[in-house]
Structure 1
Amino acid sequence: MQGPAPLSDFEPPAPLPRTVPPSRLEIIRTVLRNPLELWGMPSYTWPWIKTRFFGETTLIVNDPGLIRHVLVDNSANYAMAEVRQLVLRPILRDGLLTAEGPVWKRSRKAMAPVFTPRHARGFARQMHEQSETFLTRYETDNPEGIVRDIAVDMTELTYAILSDTLFSGEIASEGGDFADDVDALLHRMGRIDPLDLLRAPKWLPRLTRIGGYRVLNKFRALVRRTMDERRQRMQANRATAPDDFLTLLLELEGPDGLTTEEIEDNILTFIGAGHETTARALAWTFYCVAHCPAVRERMETEIDRVIASGAAPVDWLERMPHVRAAFEEAMRLYPPAPSLNREAVAPDRYEASNGEVVDIEKGTTILVMPWTLHRHELYWDRPRVFDPSRFLPENREKIGRFQYLPFGAGPRVCIGATFALQEAVIALAVLMYRYRFDVTSETKPWPVQKLTTQPSGGLPMRVTARRRPQHAADTLAESDVSVA
């Protein structure tokens, strides 16, 4: 397969494909430790694999045509997989990621207007302001810079952006370390328990999650206070309440709209998980770029040129193709959602373009796995190498729609995809304009699946001032006028 001229030969860390099938006990241990380490060579070389896990048929799908069939063409036949729901529903209940049927349709319809590409562009100013404000934590007189855990920093930055854009900065808070709370929640609650694999009754306690309920209860209390405070403001004088995501949801509360519980679940979904995917992808981007001088140089040159031109942040997504490409390549290698799980409601059949037929029995678990799909030898040149040139405008048409799924596909495609891409490009541009991010001897991340693809051990990186332009703030402030 002939690919674009490479910008990098860097292979970031990832589990090698297994060469020996795991035993049942080893499956349980690996799923508990890190599901990304479970997959063997066939998962990275075959278009699909039908196998048996714990007495149940599982179809691992990498073929783009079959992926389209499951997620789009016949999506009505594929419900959320039971194991996925056993993990997520205790956290999110009827939030957008876990709701099904009429509840999901009602919530999706209610939120769609906030996340249209046109509306998302209106958030560019807040994304830029929060990124600029975030820079203050990197200020130091030390010419050698400071070492920061970039994984933690990106969690806090994306949370600040989410709070400002969707909740007008009015999320109730008890203080404390938000990034640690998110990590504790996902570590305890965002993993498959052995009892889930064995399909044990839901009432049977999952011991691996017991420690997470304290943090979950803390988040739910925060959401309820946020809702109460906004309701009081709306009742006192609706004209003074922001026209944001939170107000929109509360105005839909009632017998013909969303229930109070559904609103709470959706706010928790966005506070606890809505920013998490972007945060992880940003952290991995900084890590990969630090290993690729040619990539970083092109990004910096592009950022300097666009900012010097006075272009408004709302236009950066289109005017910074190298920055966007680096972020998208990081999402290829470290997809924020490494697996999409479905379950066949009724028997189905798919015929591939080469004539091969896949028969799908009722109850079959379908695993559409961006983790293996994005590293698959049939669909990518040098699949383990970080090379953003794949995603430059002149090469994008070579990437099939169902070959690359950082935001999923079909009716349940991520509602915030445009929001996330714009947020990421603005954040990367602001931070890389002022600073450089380099690895240290302690930077030894290992990708681990906990809902998102997280760097085990964090991402300590050295942050040093690249330059301090005298008129940068004035230039950007003037450019923001065109956003209003």
Structure 2
Amino acid sequence: MDMKPRPFIPPAPKPRTSPPSTLQMLRIVYRNPLELWGEPSYNEPYISIRTGIGGPLVIANDPALIRHILVDNAQNYRMARVRQKVLRPILRDGLLTAEGEVWKRSRKAMAPVFTPRHIAGFAQPMLRVSEDFAGRYRDGAIVDIARDMTMLTYEILAETLFSGEIAGNPSEFGKQVDHLFETMGRIDPLDLIGAPDWLPRLTRLRGYSVLRFFRDLVGKTIRMRKDKLARDPDGSPNDFLTLLLKAEGAGGLSADEIEDNIITFIGAGHETTARALGWTLYCLAEAPWERERVETEVEAVLASTPDPGDWLGKMPLTRAVFEEAMRLYPPAASISREAIEAERWRDLDIVKGAQFQIMPWTIHRHRRLWKNPDAFLPERFHPENREAIDRYQYLPFGAGPRVCIGASFAMQEAIIALAVLLRQWRFDTLPRTRPWPVQKLTTQPQGGLPMRVSRR
């Protein structure tokens, strides 16, 4: 008799069965864009629609079309205007929003930090921070895991990329991040209808104070490090911050570009991993049979492998649950592009200015690409099954020239953090743990993730 439990189906909006009116669409996009998508988005290879408020919009789900846009003909696709209107006020010319030569200079300046050798060197600091964080929990405590993972990944980021030398109070930082995503992280209806930039966006007016907080924090951090470099250039950390500061000048980065990139990494660089870790712990709590397998693996690997840099390769089950959580709740739920020139792809005529939405949210749940797509099934990512997954049907870190520069960093960080936490603690949901995925730049659990922590 087969006693295998029924898979856990995590909460998610049901596909719409009828298209919304223009007014409904504006309201949904502001409240939660994940609730906008209808049945065709989860079933068709692509959809070309007229929105009534601008040019054509193409929802791209076909892995071959996605590859065409992000890789094969990437030079014909720039960042979409609506996306830039949301992100540029926050990040300006940071790596996520810069284009052209500015982006190339930034990517080149940061590349040495994210080489495999450098990332391996971060494993021990990641372990120390995770163990210190895990040591703060108390048996039976009720915590918001979503907030906790934000703080953990921030502390890891601060220790690894900034050698622990970010100005300000970490607890205040967590509150400000929440405020940033609540205000500046939403698409404003005026952006969708193409209103001029001089018209104030009411959704963002409340966010200017938090932007000042981050700009002040980054300014103080830069001044602290510059003073240290001036006093003791040989004794200063050779980390991400120092590397950026040394890139300042002709042929390198401007002072503003350095500030923008530090904002990008401090304000957003930890956030995607934090969300993925929170959703992972939630899914494991609701699928305890998967959690038991991971706990067994963690105990065996940690007992035999002291170097945390080796854990990622030795924990296929732990990696699989993290990747499956990112499939169901991709930290970045959408990738937006705009066609620079007209072209044709197979039977699709692409006009100049066409807007493309590559939606990891719908692609990761697409009926033609995944079996039982709404279920939490980590076995999809077990080593023997990985080859069945097309490179362009799974996009937690994007793809092409603009693939996330920190993807390997994030994977190593996540496995180390999960191993440390799950070895010591068990995280269980409560009756009030009813998260609802909401897109605010990242895929966030509305209402947080209240969970009980119990010592194992």
TM-score, length-scaled by structure 1? 0.92
How far is 1:7 from its partner? 7.4
In structure 2, what is the equivalent of residue 393 of structure 1?
383
In structure 1, what is the equivalent of residue 336 of structure 2?
341
Q: What do residues 32-84 of structure 1 show as CA deviations (whole Å, max 9, x unaligned)?
A: 11000000000000000000121320000000000000000000000000000
Q: Is residue 2:433 matched to residue 1:419?
A: no
User: Which moved further from structure 2: 199-208 or 327-336?
Assistant: 199-208
Q: Equivalents in 1 of 2:305, 2:399: separation in Å?
A: 35
How far is 1:117 from its partner? 2.1
How far is 1:8 from its partner? 5.5
How far is 1:175 from its partner? 5.5
In structure 1, what is the equivalent of residue 40 of structure 2?
42
Q: What do residues 124-146 of structure 1 show as CA deviations (whole Å, max 9, x unaligned)?
A: 00110000000122134xxxx11
Q: Equivalents in 2 of 1:186, 1:52: separation in Å?
A: 29
Q: Is residue 2:404 matched to residue 1:409?
A: no
Q: Equivalents in 1 of 2:237, 2:6: separation in Å?
A: 46
How far is 1:349 from its partner? 1.2
Alignment of 1:108-147 (within 5 A): 108-140=107-139, 145-147=140-142
How far is 1:174 from its partner? 4.3
Alignment of 1:231-380 (within 5 A): 231-351=226-346, 357-380=347-370
Q: For residue 129 of structure 1, what is the amino acid of its counterpart?
A: R
Q: For residue 144 of structure 2, what is the amino acid of its counterpart?
A: D
Q: Equivalents in 1 of 2:334, 2:61: separation in Å?
A: 11
How far is 1:110 from its partner? 0.7
How many pairs were matched up? 453
How far is 1:6 from its partner? 8.0
Q: Equivalents in 2 of 1:177, 1:294: separation in Å?
A: 37
Q: State whether residues 151 and 170 of structure 2, in contact with CA within 8 Å, keep that contact through their aligned partners in structure 1.
A: no
In structure 2, what is the equivalent of residue 475 of structure 1?
none
In structure 2, what is the equivalent of residue 98 of structure 1?
97
Q: What do residues 373-416 of structure 1 show as CA deviations (whole Å, max 9, x unaligned)?
A: 00000000000000100001110000000010000000000000
Q: Equivalents in 1 of 2:110, 2:419: separation in Å?
A: 28
Q: Equivalents in 1 of 2:372, 2:424: separation in Å?
A: 32
In structure 1, what is the equivalent of residue 186 of structure 2?
191
How far is 1:256 from its partner? 2.2
Q: State whether residues 7 and 388 of structure 1, in contact with CA within 8 Å, keep that contact through their aligned partners in structure 2.
A: no
Cα gap change, 1:49 to 1:324, in 2 (>3 Å): same
In structure 2, what is the equivalent of residue 482 of structure 1?
none
Q: For residue 9 of structure 1, what is the amino acid of its counterpart?
A: P
Cα gap change, 1:407 to 1:8, in 2 (>3 Å): farther
Q: For residue 184 of structure 1, what is the amino acid of its counterpart?
A: H
Q: Equivalents in 1 of 2:305, 2:186: separation in Å?
A: 45
The secondary structure found in structure 1 opposite 2:135 is helix
In structure 1, what is the equivalent of residue 439 of structure 2?
449
Q: What do residues 76-116 of structure 1 show as CA deviations (whole Å, max 9, x unaligned)?
A: 00000000000000000000000000000000011011112
Q: What do residues 300-349 of structure 1 show as CA deviations (whole Å, max 9, x unaligned)?
A: 00000001113310000000010000000000000000000000000011
The secondary structure found in structure 2 opposite 1:296 is helix
Please, which runs of 5 or more residues in structure 2 have no aligned partner? none
Q: For residue 85 of structure 2, what is the amino acid of its counterpart?
A: L
The secondary structure found in structure 1 opposite 2:219 is helix
The secondary structure found in structure 2 opposite 1:284 is helix
Q: State whether residues 7 and 389 of structure 1, in contact with CA within 8 Å, keep that contact through their aligned partners in structure 2.
A: no
Once superposed, what is the RMSD of the aligned Cα atoms? 1.1
Q: State whether residues 54 and 194 of structure 2, in contact with CA within 8 Å, keep that contact through their aligned partners in structure 1.
A: no
Q: Equivalents in 1 of 2:385, 2:310: separation in Å?
A: 21
The secondary structure found in structure 2 opposite 1:341 is strand
Cα gap change, 1:8 to 1:279, in 2 (>3 Å): farther
User: Which moved further from structure 2: 170-179 or 47-56?
Assistant: 170-179
Cα gap change, 1:6 to 1:261, in 2 (>3 Å): farther
The secondary structure found in structure 2 opposite 1:129 is helix
Q: What do residues 335-368 of structure 1 show as CA deviations (whole Å, max 9, x unaligned)?
A: 00000000000001112xxxxx111000000000
TM-score, length-scaled by structure 2? 0.98
In structure 1, what is the equivalent of residue 66 of structure 2?
67
How far is 1:176 from its partner? 4.3
Q: Equivalents in 2 of 1:276, 1:363: separation in Å?
A: 31
